[in-house]
Amino acid sequence: MRARSVSRSHVLPSCSGIALLAVLGGCAASTGRAAPRTAAGATAPQTFRLDNGTLDRLDVYVVEETREWFLGRVEPGTVARLLVPPNARLDGRATVRLAVLANAPRTGRPSRAAGAVLTVGQPLSRLLAQEWLFAQGQLLGVAGRRPR
């Protein structure tokens, strides 16, 4: 029985195709900036994932009973991870709401602004455990993410 010879032209495309898929797969899996590393014993950063399914620019805030913090701006059609400011000092049990303002100037009191879309007050850990979608003037939480 004779062994079949394999030409290099058939082997190289397969290897380069696998390498290309690995590179593209790595790019597709990335959702943006990596979360900063924390020292041993430090708490992980608290981030919200928000998908802007509109043509509007969104300003996103986290609202507590007595204070409100700007999280960031989400451009039309993009997904962003918004970091809760470390100076907010909110623990997972704190009752908070997300507030979204579409195409509005930044404000110190977003919960009272005309056109603000707010979530129901929930423990921070529950809000963080959801992925958020803003579409058709509504803010929708989709369960499935583990709390950070």
Tens-digit pLDDT profile for residues 50-105: 999 999 999 999 999 889 999 999 999 999 999 998 888 887 778 999 999 999 98
Residue 37 is assigned to a structural domain of this protein: no
Nearest-angstrom CA–CA distance, 62 and 82: 10
Q: Is this prediction's pTM over 0.85?
A: no
What domain range includes position 94? Answer: 47-143
Least confident of 12-16, 111-115, 143-147: 12-16
Residue 131 is assigned to a structural domain of this protein: yes
Q: Please tell me whether residue 93 adopts helix, strand or coil conformation.
A: coil
pLDDT for the residue numbered 24: 38
Residue 30 is assigned to a structural domain of this protein: no
Q: Which residues of 36-45 are buried (b: 16+ CB within 10 A; e: fewer)?
A: eeeeeeeeee
User: Which residues touch 55 (CB under 8 Å, ≥6 apart)?
Assistant: 76, 77
| CATH classification at residue 129 | 2.60.40
Residue 24 is assigned to a structural domain of this protein: no
Residue 102 is assigned to a structural domain of this protein: yes
Residue spans of alpha helices (H) in 37-140: 124-128
Residue 68's beta-bridge partner residues? 63
Report the number of distinct structural domains present in the chain: 1
